[in-house]
């Protein structure tokens, strides 16, 4: 049995999806200041897990539905059923059993089973982009391309149109420079190579200080266009249909 402090505002997942049919009045609550406070709160929670707790803790399943919101909309990271602890001299680990949620997994973990604090940083980056955009990564669709939200954000960034990523539900007046800084931080966190991603301590510095230097982000992980349903692909002159599946256990049985 898990006993949690009561969280009257449920999970962040309810607020992120701008097309949610349930409790549409909730969307009014997510003004930019609340969104930014949630981003910073989750960052502080991850920093505690990675650096300030007695053991280094890798969450491995950070996502919107695992961020609970209290009465004042303060975020609390929940669901540590997949978490792993590291020793003092341990920096990464490899597993044959891939667990977690696709769309938030880092490339090195989803493909090779390698996880570290940088795996959580990747998940945090996805979460930041979702909070800014108001859309879920895996459910994101655009009429002009077949990228997920990460790919769409990177495409806009390269084209100098990152401002278009901002949720249309946002209030009319908000600090644009702060929102753009969050977009850049999110893209820095989802970079393909773990070595390029910042630590959570530097993420907090970038979020809290306007004087902090932000490097230009590099290409993110999973920057590939999806093949839409109903389309087919040609492999060795043979035609196959393309379907999207999810795997949570990559072991032979």
Q: Catalytic one among 13, 21, 52, 61? A: 61
Q: Where are the beta strands (DSSP E) in the chain?
A: 56-58, 67-69, 75-77, 84-86, 92-94, 114-116, 232-235, 238-241
Check: CB of residue 82 under 8 Å from CB of residue 27.
Answer: no
Closest CA to 175 of 36, 73, 43, 74: 36
72-77 own/partner pairs: CB under 8 Å, 24+ apart: 73/9, 73/29, 73/34, 73/37, 73/38, 74/37, 74/41, 75/12, 75/38, 75/41, 75/42, 75/45, 76/5, 76/7, 76/45, 77/42, 77/45, 77/46, 77/49
- Is residue 61 part of the annotated active site? The answer reads yes
Q: Which residues are catalytic?
A: 61
């Amino acid at each position: 049995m898990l006993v949690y402090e009561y969280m009257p505002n449920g999970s962040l997942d309810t607020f992120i999806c701008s097309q949610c049919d349930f409790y549409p009045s909730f969307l009014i609550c997510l003004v930019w200041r609340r969104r930014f406070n949630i981003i910073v709160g989750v960052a502080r929670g991850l920093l505690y897990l990675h650096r300030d707790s007695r053991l280094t803790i890798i969450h491995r399943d950070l996502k919107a539905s695992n961020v609970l919101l209290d009465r004042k909309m303060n975020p609390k990271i929940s669901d540590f059923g997949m978490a792993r602890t590291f020793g003092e001299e341990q920096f990464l680990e490899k597993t044959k059993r891939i667990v977690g949620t696709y769309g938030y997994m880092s490339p090195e973990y989803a493909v090779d089973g390698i996880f570290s604090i940088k795996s959580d940083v990747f998940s945090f980056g996805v979460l930041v982009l979702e909070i800014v955009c108001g859309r879920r990564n895996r459910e994101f669709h655009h009429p002009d391309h077949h990228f997920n939200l990460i790919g769409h954000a990177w495409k806009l960034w390269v084209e100098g149109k990152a401002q278009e990523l901002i949720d249309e539900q946002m209030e009319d007046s908000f600090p644009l420079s702060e929102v753009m800084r969050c977009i850049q931080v999110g893209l820095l966190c989802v970079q393909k190579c773990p070595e390029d991603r910042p630590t959570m301590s530097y993420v907090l510095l970038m979020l809290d200080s306007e004087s902090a230097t932000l490097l230009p982000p590099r290409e993110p992980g999973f920057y590939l266009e999806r093949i839409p349903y109903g389309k087919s692909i040609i492999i060795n002159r043979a035609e196959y249909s393309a379907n999207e599946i999810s795997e949570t256990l990559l072991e032979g049985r």
